[in-house]
Amino acid sequence: MTFKELNLIQPLLGPLDKMGYTQATPIQEQSIPHLLAGRDIFGCAQTGTGKTAAFALPILQMLDAAKIGPRSGTKALILAPTRELAIQIHENIVLYSENLNISSTVIFGGVNQHSQVQALRKGVNILIATPGRLLDLMQQGFVKLNMVTHFVLDEADRMLDMGFIHDIKKIIPKLPTQRQTIFFSATVAPDIKKLADGLLIKPVSVEVTPVASPAELVEQSVFMVDKNHKRTLLKHLIKERKMDQVLVFTRTKHGADKVAKELCKAGINAEAIHGNKSQNARERALAGFKSKTVQALIATDIAARGIDIDRLGFVINFELPEVAETYVHRIGRTGRAGSEGIALSFCDAEEVQYLKGITKLMKRDIPKVEHPFK
């Protein structure tokens, strides 16, 4: 379906056309008509599905129809878990709104607040923010949310993983109860569902099913191994196969830290990346990994979103994911851009059920590899 068929106004179609966007993605096709009709939305979609445009375009169209002035106060609040995502959303909104008389700004932590405060003092219609900095500026009296008509919570699962739930719970009571709420998450865990239920009124559910076919260029194998021998096997494989750049997945933040520590002890330069790490620590670890000064990056699934390394040779599932689709996303980090990749998975007795789910989803067995560390 084209954006024109979605009844978007000409001032929005112009910039989209200029950017080479004419066809809507599935999440945009499903979301835009409901949002323009004023409905709340619960969206389940991964990064890279086009969800920013799915919520930004209808919000811009509705604010334009409301004939607001650019300095008439904050009408839309968009919360994002990281500085990078907040900046990216803002950049897109600036592009989409070039023909509209609508103002926007982005605020995030880790930098001096002066220029952000200056922008807020002028008055902005759309505010994109990370929860910590927003709460801080609200407490200082620089942000008022009493006129917000549209509220977006993006990547809600990542918010929870990064410990922002308490900040979010302090922000929500400051919003008007009469508002449109748009909620996006890549997973629908029980705590996500609970948060959504408390925010949304008769929402429309939209979902983009994750692609279930891993890159054909990825060579996959599995090692049946006792839980206690996984770290020994990991060190052995990294050294034996001379892996100069390997992305290792664990299920928990604590697990990621333990694995990174163990590898460092063995002389393998490793860093953990997860929600408890500061923004700067995550950026440093990622930069080191990209430049290959960090040999092994140990990541949780949520923290690994946004890691896009060209020609990454190896992915290791130190622990198998509980959700089969997650395995597909993990191994899709390698074998990109026409290059071949290798995905190795460790499976202990408790994880056999997860392995069965993965093989069922992929409709194929993963070859088992013999090794000395049973």
Predicted pLDDT at 120: 93
Tokens 């966007």 locate to: 21
16-53 pLDDT, tens digit each:
888 778 888 889 999 999 999 999 999 988 766 788 89
Residues with Cβ within 8 Å of 191's Cβ and at least 6 positions away in sequence, in order, are 160
Same fold yes or no, 10-207 and 218-362 = yes
How much is the pTM? 0.63
Q: Where are the beta strands (DSSP E) in 145-269?
A: 150-153, 180-185, 204-207, 218-224, 246-249
Predicted pLDDT at 212: 44
For residue 304, the surrounding DSSP H or E stretch is helix 301-304
Tokens 């050294």 locate to: 239
CA distances 15 to 52, 53, 57, 134, Å, are 15, 12, 11, 29
Q: Is 39 helix (H, G, I), strand (E, B) or coil?
A: coil
Predicted pLDDT at 310: 66
Q: Mark residue 353 as left, alpha or beta (left: phi above 0; alpha: psi -120 to 50; beta: remaining).
A: alpha
Name the CATH architecture for the domain at 218-362. Answer: 3-Layer(aba) Sandwich (3.40)
What are the residue boundaries of the structural domains of the chain, listed by start?
A: 10-207, 218-362
Fold of 10-207: Rossmann fold (3.40.50)
Residues of the chain with pLDDT under 50: 211-212
Residue 159 CB: number of other CB atoms within 10 A? Answer: 25
Render the burial of 306-334: b for 16+ CB within 10 Å, e for the rest: bbebeebbbbbbbbbbebbbbbbbbbbbb
